[in-house]
Amino acid sequence: MKNRFFHSFLLTVCLLAPLPSTAGSYNKMFVFGDSLSDSGNLATLAALSPDGSGPDEFRFLNDAPYFHGFTNGPTAVFRLANLLQVPDFKSSLYLLQTIEGTNFAVAGARAAGDEKIDLNTQVGAFLASLPPFGGKAPSDALYILFIGGNDIRDMRNAADLKTSYAILKKAKQNIHNNLSLLISLGAKHIMVVNSPNIGNLPETKLIAQQTNNSHVITKATLFTMAYNQALADTVKTIEKYTHRDLVLFDVFTFFNNIVKDSRSLLFSNAKDACYSSVAFDYNLICDSSHLDTFVYFDEIHPTQRVHERVGRAMFAVVPEAN
């Protein structure tokens, strides 16, 4: 397993310094994930449904301060695609029963779920796009799996530990199955991204306040660590039987360092949401002019400045194209 965890020095370099290109060239980049990578699939479902009457509950994603997803600018994978100079990287639009791009990530997706937005369906939509490539996964492409936050939120909200760990077990199995499938079809260059600490989310802190139960924060952190360990174990297992090196990007540690060093990185607030995706308005402590001084865009998602830093850090460890 290459680059499983960052050392503090590399973290500092990724946070503060320009990054040279070392990854070579990729003709395509395929992404499977959730709102941390989606910049159009869910939004386009509302804006461009075949009959012109997409679901109203998602129309807000096409209006400021949103940027066709749950942040105020390009997500980390779009930043990465630009750094790699991947041509024509865009949302797949598979929810509209068509394939226009190679980003299959959808806001709200789960690894453990079986709905049309979830990981299994995303990979299924990718499989449907393979005939132009001879039924094989392009070997000169970069594949990114960046999912898990919503599964951990479900674990946090579950009524009991049995339910929480059932979610974890299914998420782990689905990730194992889908990564194995991609490799069997010819994928060579794969980056797997773990989850940021769900215990740090403004949403988790609000739940703790509303329920007068600070243990929720600890529980969410422990579930995040359990998920990330299961993900690391899965990657290690797959590497062992496929003899293929995967890159595991530790966004948990990277994001924690952004929060820890937020002042030196010129963030004014690393714990509260600037905007509310519940009330659809700026919180009292923030406005549009201060949005990019906050780490958190809303109750769950980071601002574009954080995405930009994550994208650069991912770029630093992208596997060599060959």
Token digits of residue 146: 């960046």
Q: What is the spatial order of strands in the sheet that 28-33 belongs to? A: 28-33, 141-146, 189-193, 247-249
- Give the strand pairing for 275-276 and 281-282: antiparallel
Q: What is the pLDDT along the chain (322 residues), one digit of tens a residue?
A: 654 444 433 454 455 445 544 556 899 999 999 999 998 999 987 655 555 555 567 889 989 999 999 999 999 999 999 999 999 999 999 999 999 999 999 999 999 999 999 999 999 999 999 987 788 999 999 999 999 999 999 999 999 999 999 999 999 999 999 999 999 999 999 999 999 999 999 999 999 999 999 999 999 999 999 999 999 999 999 999 999 999 999 999 999 999 999 999 999 999 999 999 999 999 999 999 999 999 999 999 999 999 999 999 999 999 887 6
Q: Contact, 83 vs 32, CB < 8 A?
A: no
And the tokens for 267? 């963030």
Domains of the chain: 8-316 (3.40.50.1110)
What are the CA-CA distances from residue 242 to residues 1, 168, 179, 180, 184 (Å)? 12, 23, 11, 8, 9
Whole-Å CA distances, 27 to 14, 141, 145, 206, 308? 24, 6, 18, 43, 22
What type of residue is 6? F
Neighbours of 169 (CB within 10 A): 12
Q: What is the pLDDT of residue 59?
A: 83
Distant-in-sequence, close-in-space partners of 220: CB < 8 Å, separation ≥ 6: 152, 153, 156, 197, 198, 199, 201, 204
Single out the residue of 22, 3, 25, 2 nearest to residue 321, CA to CA. Answer: 25
Can you tell me the distance from the alpha carbon of 172 to that of 231, in angstroms, rounded to the nearest whole number? 7
Question: What SS3 class is residue 282?
Answer: strand
Residue 219, amino acid: K
The predicted pLDDT at position 2 comes to 58
- Cα–Cα distance for residue pair 143/132, rounded to 1 Å: 18
Which residues on neighbouring strands pair with residue 190, listed in sequence order? 143
